[in-house]
Amino acid sequence: MLTSSNSKNFALRCLQAGAAGFLCKNDNLNELANAVKAILSGYSYFPEDTISTLQQNTNAACQESVLIAQLTDREITVLKLLASGMNNQKIADALLISHKTVSTYKVRLLKRFNVSNLVALAELAKRNSVV
């Protein structure tokens, strides 16, 4: 992919979409020959910051997976229901528990995953196929 778009915004997306390489026209175009050679030799070619971002994302995903694996069955159930959009009272009714107990589970989940709101918790659940 040769583009005038900023590599910070698009290189990671291109990599995740299956592109073999990424080069921004604003970068040193002498790199174009190196990129083409690398790709033709079967390698990929991406900016270093893209690779480090991918590694950070992979590490974060691994940490999330470990934390999810440590959840109890009830915590997973509450997480699924929260991520599906149910409110505390509806979850309490469905699980035959107090809405305050649901609230306690929600606070624990927010703290465990170090997220500040329910939207981030729902995104985390979807990203990790909990929902």
Q: Looking at the 3D structure of the chain, how many domains does it have?
A: 2
31 and 76, same domain (yes or no) = no
Confidence of residue 1 (pLDDT cuts 50, 70, 90): confident
3 state SS of 21 = strand
pLDDT digits (tens, 9 = 90+) for 41-55: 988 887 776 667 666
Residue 66, in any domain of the structure: no
Host domain of residue 84 = 71-127
Residue 22 has pLDDT above 80, yes or no: yes
The whole-number average pLDDT for the span 74-86 is: 94
Number of helices (H), then strands (E), in the chain? 7, 2
46 and 78, same domain (yes or no) = no
Residue 64, in any domain of the structure: no
Q: What is the pLDDT of residue 109?
A: 95
Per-residue tokens: 129: 């196929």
Contact by Cβ (8 Å): 72, 42 = no
What pTM did the predictor assign? 0.57
Q: Which of 4, 3, 7 is nearest to 49 (CA)?
A: 7
30 and 76, same domain (yes or no) = no
Element (H, E) at 2: strand 2-3
Ranges 9-18, 19-28, 50-59, 94-103, most confident: 94-103
Residue 61, in any domain of the structure: no
Q: What is the pLDDT of residue 91?
A: 97
Task: Tally the C-alpha atoms within 13 A of residue 23's C-alpha that lie toward its C-beta.
Answer: 19
In this prediction, what percent of the chain has a pLDDT beyond 70?
87
Residue 89, in any domain of the structure: yes
Q: What is the pLDDT of residue 25?
A: 80
